């Protein structure tokens, strides 16, 4: 799950953002994984999720996780996600 979120962010930075840099932060707590991915690409005034972002949101919600997308023109794109660790999902 963590890999797929980061993979989608990388794909979007390459295909859509014209980003020069991409930063990935992973933090593990007892509750789960926090993922922060941001780029320095062209950004957008309005975020219109395509299949990749929609799929990321759906997969995270299936395991009780959540995701937020943030962007502004010329200020890059940010994905903040949380994946809980419960039961067998580790």
Summarize pLDDT for 1-38 with one digit per residue, the tens: 889 889 999 999 999 999 999 999 999 999 999 999 99
pLDDT of residue 61: 95
Contact between 32 and 53 under an 8 Å Cβ cutoff? The reply is no
What phi and psi, each to the nearest 5 degrees, are found at residue 16? Answer: -120, -30
Taking alpha carbons only, the member of 19, 23, 9 closest to residue 56 is 9
Taking alpha carbons only, the member of 24, 29, 20, 27 closest to residue 8 is 24
Structural domains present in the chain:
2-84 (3.30.565.10)
Mean pLDDT of the chain: 92
pLDDT of residue 30: 92
């Amino acid at each position: 799950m963590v890999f797929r979120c980061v993979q989608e962010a990388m794909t979007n930075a390459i295909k859509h953002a014209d980003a020069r840099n991409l930063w990935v932060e992973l933090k593990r707590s007892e509750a789960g994984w926090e993922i922060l991915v941001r780029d320095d690409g062209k950004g957008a005034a309005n975020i219109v999720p395509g299949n990749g972002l929609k799929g990321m949101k759906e997969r995270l919600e299936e395991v009780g996780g959540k995701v937020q997308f943030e962007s502004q023109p010329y200020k890059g794109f940010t994905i903040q996600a949380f994946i809980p660790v419960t039961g067998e999902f580790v």
